Amino acid sequence: DTGVSQNPRHKITKRGQNVTFRCDPISEHNRLYWYRQTLGQGPEFLTYFQNEAQLEKSRLLSDRFSAERPKGSFSTLEIQRTEQGDSAMYLCASSFPDLNTEAFFGQGTRLTVV
């Protein structure tokens, strides 16, 4: 499978716990994006990387959120001290700007904070 892969697909956690999600982009894509989608809304941008450099962060990405892409390949998104308001679908996408490609999305990780 050469698409964008996200793991886990579902995560249930207790309020106050830390969670980490992983995204593996399409192999030749050097840009990677994270979005959050709550029920009934369109996805909202969180952050994006070009290779290992984090180029933009939304103000939605509070201090409890951190994203990394240490080797310019896969990325992780960590949420510390989760709150019920963090319950959402977290989407990852990748693109290859040199070929002017649009973003290709993964299937998302659904987070439920109880």
Residues lying near other proteins in the complex (CB under 8 A) are found at: 31, 33, 35, 40-45, 48, 56, 89, 91, 93-95, 97, 100-108, 110
Closest CA to 35 of 102, 100, 107: 107
Min separation Cβ 79 and other proteins, Å = 19
Choose between 13 and 110: whose C-beta lies nearer to other proteins. Answer: 110
Min separation Cβ 43 and other proteins, Å = 5
Q: How far apart are CA 30 and CA 52, in angstroms?
A: 9
Choose between 14 and 40: whose C-beta lies nearer to other proteins. Answer: 40
Burial annotation 27-54 (CB, 10 A radius, 16+ → b, else e): eebbbbbbbbeeeeeebeebbbbeeeeb
